[in-house]
């Protein structure tokens, strides 16, 4: 098979500018902005009202709190940019102790999809709920994922990018996928 020579005519800046303007003034942009505002109102603003948040805790404006009535955040915590806290679909809770801080883009999820049968697609199957407990003085590094059913012990440190699928002992430093104990804090 031979390569065919193609003559590419680059669009001018004016053409790109018109394309950008048309995107900005399109009806679809209006619909997308309305959907984004509704999502934000439900999953952040109402979430802040439904969750129990301790004194002097800072939950950043870009944090998403889903099933927030099952989320408890202790005192003096910092829940950083773009964190997602997803409590269980039924009863599973996310309980965060005092003086816990998270890096950016952390996900804490207290449920998981079932995959009990091959006869049904997983998206149509039920869920498994299991509470996530994060004790006092825990530092969760950016990009970490804390999965359902996990307890993170007091004073633990979760390295950036870790996927925590098992309990973490107190004062341990864990990292990796899946997270494993690297060492103990002094």
Active site residues: 113
Does the bond joining 27 to the residue before it have cis omega, within 30 degrees of 0? no
Minimal CA–CA distance to 174: which of 150, 98, 79? 150
Chain-centroid distance, C-alpha 166: 18
**Close Cβ partners of 95 (under 8 Å, ≥ 6 residues apart):** 72, 131, 132, 133, 134
Phi and psi at residue 32, in whole multiples of 5°?
-65, -40
SS3 141: coil
Contacting residues for 58 by C-beta, under 8 A, at least 6 apart: 77, 78, 79
Question: Which H or E run includes 37?
Answer: helix 27-40
């Amino acid at each position: 098979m031979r390569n065919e020579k193609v003559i590419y005519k680059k669009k001018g800046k004016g053409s790109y500018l018109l394309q950008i303007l048309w995107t900005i003034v399109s009806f679809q942009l209006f619909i997308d902005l309305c959907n984004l505002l509704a999502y934000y109102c439900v999953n952040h603003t109402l979430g802040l009202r439904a969750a129990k948040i301790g004194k002097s805790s800072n939950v950043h404006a870009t944090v998403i709190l889903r099933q927030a009535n099952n989320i408890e955040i202790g005192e003096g915590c910092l829940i950083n940019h773009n964190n997602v806290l997803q409590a269980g679909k039924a009863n599973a809770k996310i309980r965060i102790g005092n003086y816990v801080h998270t890096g950016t883009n952390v996900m804490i999820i207290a449920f998981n999809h079932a995959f009990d049968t091959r006869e049904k697609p997983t998206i149509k199957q039920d869920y498994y709920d299991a509470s996530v407990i994060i004790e006092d003085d825990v530092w969760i590094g950016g990009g970490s994922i804390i999965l359902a059913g996990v307890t993170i012990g007091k004073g633990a440190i979760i390295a950036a990018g870790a996927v925590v699928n098992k309990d973490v002992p107190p004062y341990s430093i864990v990292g990796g996928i899946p997270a494993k104990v690297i060492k103990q804090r002094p």
